[in-house]
Structure 1
Amino acid sequence: MSDNSTVKKQTSPDEAALLPPVDVIEDSSGITLYADLPGVPKEKLRLHVEADTLTIEGEIDLEMPGGIEASHAEVSLPRYRRVFTLSKELDASKVGAEFKNGVLKLSIPKAEHAQPRKIEVKVL
């Protein structure tokens, strides 16, 4: 799986986005991806898998109370976006997603042909 910044966007090309920090853990059954998306409510989180491309998008929901403006803001962009190219070894049709406390967890299993398998030895 690799980061891919040249995939076409669904929003305007000049709209900037934050890159969420991501941890990827691989084992014999597939990969687990953790993306930190603080401030994104579940209803503003979008995941897309098309061919071998995985896109994570989310809009930050940090509203200020009536008429108050922040004197200092470290998060100045209102959205996250990260695009990955999935390996052919992964089964993109079986992606599982969980979202809890601003952390997105994606589980992507390896395709059947890429799974480790035991080979039976016949005695002749």
Structure 2
Amino acid sequence: MSDNTQLRQPAQTEATRATEALLPPVDVIEDGAGITLHADLPGVSRDRLHLHVEADTLTIEGEIALPAPEGLESIHSEVGLSVYRRVFTLSKELDADRVAAEFSQGVLTLRIPKVEHAQPRRIPIQVG
């Protein structure tokens, strides 16, 4: 990502520390028309995935369903938390009303376009 990154993670506050969650790995790719975000959410089903945009804040939350087989009890678990959560602050150059989401095989892909006036455009040159 360039120094002009369109997406930031806000500083962690007391409120965000109170509800611990796993941080899903995220790749953010910026181009002239907007950003594409890829988040890995293994173990999350589509009906347990929640996306929210409020003002300039994008929140991704997903609940992991890891049921133990009937009659068996877990004696060791390396996944102690059952919720993924990532919160981003969106730049004013991004159009939060036009976010498009796709979820396939545990990978969430979000496309957030830039607002019209922030997109690059070609300026025609007239011969004088």
2:24 aligned with 1:43, yes or no?
no
Match of 2:66 among 47, 62, 67: 62
User: Which amino acid in structure 1 is aligned with residue 119 of structure 2?
Assistant: Q
2:21 aligned with 1:17, yes or no?
yes
What is the CA-CA distance between 1:69 and the residue it aligns to? Answer: 2.0
* Aligned-pair Cα RMSD in Å: 1.7
What is the CA-CA distance between 1:29 and the residue it aligns to? Answer: 1.0
Q: Which residue of 2 aligns with 1:78?
A: 82
2:21 aligned with 1:2, yes or no?
no
Q: Distance in 1 between matches of 2:101 and 2:123?
A: 32
TM-score by length of 2: 0.87
Higher share in strand: 2
**Structure 1 vs Structure 2: percent identity of aligned residues?**
64
Q: Contact 1:44 / 1:59 at 8 angstroms: preserved in 2?
A: yes
The worse-fitting range, judged by mean Cα deviation, of 90-99 and 61-70 is 61-70
The worse-fitting range, judged by mean Cα deviation, of 65-74 and 111-120 is 65-74
- Say which SS state the counterpart of residue 18 (structure 2) adopts: coil
Q: Distance in 1 between matches of 2:18 and 2:14?
A: 14
Q: Which runs of 5+ in 2 are unaligned?
A: 1-6
Aligned pairs, how many?
121
Post-superposition Cα deviations, 1:26-75, rounded to whole Å, max 9, x if no partner, equal 11111100001011110000000011100000110111111322222111
User: Which amino acid in structure 2 is aligned with residue 2 of structure 1?
Assistant: R
